[in-house]
Amino acid sequence: MAKAIDYQVEPPVIGPTAEEELQRLLQTLHEHGVLRLANDMVASNNDWLKVIVDGLSRKGSLNVIQNISVLLMALSTIPPERMYKLAFGLRDFMAELSREGHEEEQSQSANGSAPGARGAWKMLHDDELWHSLMPLLNGMKAFSRRMEEEVDKPISSFSGKPSDA
């Protein structure tokens, strides 16, 4: 009886080997100065770290970091579908403002008169106008309530946990 031949087919070389890719990466890092930067940072004996920490320890830098974290906390509470409506609603609002300004100039130059008392009276009885203004008025009320609140530490107010001052 014949023995089976144990033959493993070597896969064809499709691209560079891992070692070749590593050498290419090393050469690219060298050509773009990344290796020199890393070497200089290590050789500087953490002086650069002291500069960064000193810069971040300033009152203004701390305020920036805290303000960004407050914005991120607020954004984290907004569902994406509401944020979508808000962002595109603001875009449409700004488009209408710029369009309204041009139309107003054209209409005022055409007839030269304001709507007057009768026009204002009609606006007061326009249900569609009041329906569209109510969310804006309610939003202004909520904003006013929030502005009157006293906040010691924003993170404590956000999380509901007492601060360990």
The encoded tokens of residue 70 equal 């407050």
Output 32 or 52, whichever has higher pLDDT: 32
Considering the entire predicted model, what is its pTM? 0.47
How does 57-82 read in b/e, with b if 16+ C-beta sit within 10 Å? eeeeeeeeeeeeeeeeeeeeeeeeee
Average of per-residue pLDDT across 9-27: 90
Residue-wise pLDDT for 102-131, tens only, equals 665 555 545 556 778 888 888 888 888 888
Question: What backbone phi and psi angles, to 5 degrees, belong to 70?
Answer: -65, -40
Give the residue extent of every domain in the chain: 30-77
